[in-house]
């Protein structure tokens, strides 16, 4: 990328404050930026870096008022973070890949759409349907009767097992597994377990993103469903017959047990555990490392803790929890004083 501050401002619909002819060649964090870098200020806690940054230009809000002199040029925009993403998208152009590399296996009765890429050592099972402009990177396994929608990107090492469906413009990152068996076993009188056949599938709707090493189990019956616009981080476990509502986001190392229904636009922090057969209402936020053991039926709830409950109540309880050693010492001291006072009376 080689441009100028003024040209970037024109593209972003922003206003330059300072030198507009400064060259810009890279994008950088504000605390690490060099003299030809563009950066942005969206979080107030990083404001101090604005006064020491070496950046050529920094994206700021239109009404931002610096408290100290700034050497960088400022580009005033409506939303600095969104503007920075816009620039990132313009300069990030992945290499165009087309055609089928060798060796690959493409089964019988497979439909391959137009402008498809299939990387080396990939396998596509019989009767699968691959939409237009799908990118399948090397060492991907796609089972039989799988459907993959237009424009989806599947990175190396992904496994999509039989009868699963992936929508349009999805992104599935390396080594994710879609459609592995659900964890279904029937206990027997002799303490052994009999495996319950898992005959359902997984359905990913449009615009879903699945992180690296995430696993989504097929349903026992019916479908495990990830609705439109859901974003799953790395290392997440989604069990059989789970449904995750539209535009919900789940952070890394979280697990959702079988047959739970998560609502729309929810936010689930990292290392959250949700037990099975629960209902989570729309717009719920679950703080990191929480354990959800019962349904959350009130839309917009914010919970924390294990077991999770109202985050405001949790914070009050946590204040007391941190004071327990001090309170214990005070109680022991009072106990000693009471015993001494009782002895003095006699």
- Series of mean pLDDT values for 10-residue runs along the chain (346 residues): 93 96 95 96 95 97 96 97 92 83 96 97 98 97 98 98 98 98 94 96 98 98 98 98 98 98 98 98 98 98 97 94 91 88 70
* CA-based R_g, the chain, Å: 27
User: Is the preceding omega at residue 101 within 30 degrees of 0, hence cis?
Assistant: no
Domain chopping of the chain, boundaries: 3-91, 158-307
Query: What is d(CA 213, CA 210) in angstroms, rounded to the nearest whole number?
Result: 9
Residues labelled as active-site residues: 240
User: Per CATH, the architecture of 3-91 is what?
Assistant: 3-Layer(aba) Sandwich (3.40)
Distances (CA, A) of 259 to 3, 223, 242: 52, 10, 5
248-299 pLDDT, tens digit per residue, is 999 999 999 999 999 999 999 999 999 999 999 999 999 999 999 999 999 9
Query: What is d(CA 340, CA 346) in angstroms, rounded to the nearest whole number?
Result: 10
Q: Could you tell me the fold of the domain covering 158-307?
A: UDP N-Acetylglucosamine Acyltransferase; domain 1 (2.160.10)
DSSP-assigned beta bridge partners for residue 15: 76
């Amino acid at each position: 990328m080689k441009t100028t501050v003024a040209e970037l401002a024109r593209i972003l619909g922003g206003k330059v404050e300072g030198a507009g002819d400064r060259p810009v060649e890279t994008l950088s964090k504000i605390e690490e930026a060099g003299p030809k870098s563009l950066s942005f200020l969206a979080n107030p806690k990083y404001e101090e870096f604005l006064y020491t940054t070496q950046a050529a230009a920094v994206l700021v809000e239109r009404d931002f008022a610096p408290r100290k002199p700034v050497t960088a040029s400022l580009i005033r925009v409506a939303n600095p973070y969104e503007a920075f993403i816009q620039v990132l998208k313009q300069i990030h152009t992945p290499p165009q890949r087309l055609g089928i590399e060798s060796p690959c296996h493409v089964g019988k009765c497979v439909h391959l759409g137009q402008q498809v890429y299939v990387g080396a050592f990939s396998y596509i099972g019989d009767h699968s349907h691959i939409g237009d402009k799908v990118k399948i990177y090397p060492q991907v396994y796609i089972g039989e009767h799988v459907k993959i929608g237009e424009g989806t990107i599947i990175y190396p090492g992904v496994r999509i097992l039989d009868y699963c469906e992936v929508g349009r413009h999805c992104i599935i990152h390396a080594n994710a597994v879609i459609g592995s068996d659900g964890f279904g076993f029937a206990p027997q009188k002799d303490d052994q377990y009999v495996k319950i056949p898992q005959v359902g599938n997984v359905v990913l709707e449009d615009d879903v993103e699945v992180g690296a090493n995430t696993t989504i189990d097929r349903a026992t019956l019916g479908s495990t469903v990830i609705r439109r616009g859901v974003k799953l981080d790395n290392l997440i476990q989604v069990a059989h017959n789970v449904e995750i509502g539209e535009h919900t986001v789940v952070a890394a190392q979280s697990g959702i047990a079988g047959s739970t229904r998560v609502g729309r636009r929810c936010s689930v922090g990292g290392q959250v555990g949700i037990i099975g057969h629960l209902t989570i209402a729309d717009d719920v936020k679950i703080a990191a490392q929480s354990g959800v053991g019962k349904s959350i039926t009130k839309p917009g709830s914010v919970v924390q803790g294990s077991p999770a409950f109202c985050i405001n109540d949790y914070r009050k309880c946590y204040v007391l929890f941190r004071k327990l050693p001090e309170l214990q010492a005070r109680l022991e001291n009072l106990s000693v004083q009471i015993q001494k006072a009782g002895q003095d009376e006699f």
